[in-house]
Amino acid sequence: MEYTGKMTDKNITIMKEFILLGFSDLPNFQGFLFAIILVIYICILLGNGLIIVITNVERALQTPMYYFLGNFSFVEICYTSVPLPRMLKNLWTQKRNISLISCAVQLCFFLILGVTESFLLAVMAYDRYVAICKPLYYPLIMNPKMCVQMVITSWLTGIPVIIGQTYHIFSMPFCGSNKLNYAFCDMPPLMKLACGDISGGKLFTYIDCLLFALIPLVLILYSYVRILRTILKLPSITGRSKAFSTCSSHLTVVGLFYGSGFIAYLQSKNSYSAGTDKIFSLFYIIVTPMVNPMIYSLRNKDFIEAMRKLFSKCIE
């Protein structure tokens, strides 16, 4: 444990590094956990990488829906690549220390990519809304320029606020131990170690959830309410089934992403459970990116056909 000094008459420690405990409470399973997480990480890279390749090379998939899906898969790769390599390194070397600067950088990029993912999910819901509720205007509204602008906006919107939030969190004093009972640097365990007046940090957290999680979620739900009303008016059962099919994959990913994220971030300090929180943190950095390719590919006939064509060309 490294310190630069202590403030007079206060139990406040100025830290140079944190210790990421991760899964150190399972000493006999470190090798097993390393192998499992490594396999999952490779699956995430391959699965989402395949989506990016197919949506870019297959002409039949050169549509706004697949353009957004390709960008979403790219964000998933970046999102998991922020914590997982460090997590694997810690499991392999058993050295769990991380400098204050590295922790801040990891948290900042992790939150920025999480915000980007949240807004992209809202953009994808809007795309489905226009396609189903305003099909005649779809090519006009979802033109290439608009699609690019929506993706860029999703990437850039949260950056200023997240940088300010990260600065504020690491400007707070931390008390006592420098051990984070977590696998990577995230807000819940950092807020647990913060002391003194942390109301500003909590306020930032709630503002973050409101602006970058709740508002996109409300937009998603509003889009799907309008979509559901339109689908129920369709005279053809086949048409209803096809419309539901194109939306169900996206709704599944939304449920996985927001469900685990809200549980992890909105727990009160009194109900904070490190073990439960670690499980949910793994859920939203590993499970959702891993199942995303399966959810979108296995339930999409156009995507399956595109994969078949791509593999056929590779074999020839």
pLDDT tens, 206-245? 777 777 888 999 999 999 999 989 888 877 776 677 777 7
Q: Which residue has the higher pLDDT, 128 or 233?
A: 128
How far apart CA 61 and CA 58 sit, in angstroms, is 6
How far apart CA 245 and CA 197 sit, in angstroms, is 49
Q: Which residue has the higher pLDDT, 277 or 133?
A: 133
Q: Which residue has the higher pLDDT, 307 or 115?
A: 115
pTM (2 decimals)?
0.87
pLDDT at 310 over 80: no
pLDDT tens, 245-260? 778 888 888 888 888 7
Q: Which residue has the higher pLDDT, 112 or 259?
A: 112
Count of Cβ atoms closer than 10 Å to residue 269 Cβ: 10
Give the mean pLDDT of 2-10.
42
Q: Is 5 left (phi over 0), alpha (psi -120 to 50) or beta?
A: left
At residue 316, the pLDDT reads 63
How far apart CA 228 and CA 82 sit, in angstroms, is 36
pLDDT classification of 299: cutoffs 50, 70, 90: low
Count of Cβ atoms closer than 10 Å to residue 290 Cβ: 18
At residue 145, the pLDDT reads 95
At residue 5, the pLDDT reads 40
Would strands 17-20 and 3-6 be described as parallel, antiparallel, or unpaired? Answer: unpaired
How far apart CA 296 and CA 300 sit, in angstroms, is 6
* Three-class secondary structure assignment of the chain: CCEEEECCCCCCEEECEEEECCCCCCHHHHHHHHHHHHHHHHHHHHHHHHHHHHHHHCHHHCCHHHHHHHHHHHHHHHHHHCCHHHHHHHHHHCCCEEEHHHHHHHHHHHHHHHHHHHHHHHHHHHHHHHHHHCHHHHHHHCCHHHHHHHHHHHHHCCHHHHHHHHHHHHHCCECCCCEECCCCCCHHHHHHHECCCCHHHHHHHHHHHHHHHHHHHHHHHHHHHHHHHHHHCCCCHHHHHHHHHHHHHHHHHHHHHHHHHHHHHCCCCCCCCHHHHHHHHHHHHHHHHHHHHHHHHHCCHHHHHHHHHHHHHHHC
Residue 5's contacts (CB-CB under 8 Å, 6 or more residues apart) are 14
pLDDT at 70 over 90: yes
At residue 147, the pLDDT reads 96
pLDDT classification of 10: cutoffs 50, 70, 90: very low
At residue 261, the pLDDT reads 72
Q: Which residue has the higher pLDDT, 144 or 181?
A: 144
Lowest mean pLDDT among 178-182, 253-257, 305-309: 305-309
How far apart CA 218 and CA 210 sit, in angstroms, is 10
- Report residue 264 as tokens: 């992890």
At residue 3, the pLDDT reads 41
How far apart CA 86 and CA 115 sit, in angstroms, is 21
Give the mean pLDDT of 50-62.
87
At residue 8, the pLDDT reads 42
Give the mean pLDDT of 25-40.
87
Percent pLDDT > 70 in the chain is 86
Q: Which residue has the higher pLDDT, 98 or 206?
A: 98
| Mean pLDDT of the residues in the chain | 83
Query: Hey, which residues does 98 pair with through a beta bridge?
Result: 18
At residue 180, the pLDDT reads 85
Give the mean pLDDT of 171-183.
81
At residue 85, the pLDDT reads 93
pLDDT at 292 over 60: yes
pLDDT at 4 over 50: no
Count of Cβ atoms closer than 10 Å to residue 101 Cβ: 11
Lowest mean pLDDT among 14-18, 119-123, 196-200, 309-313: 196-200
Q: Which domains does the chain carry?
A: 3-315 (1.20.1070.10)
At residue 6, the pLDDT reads 42
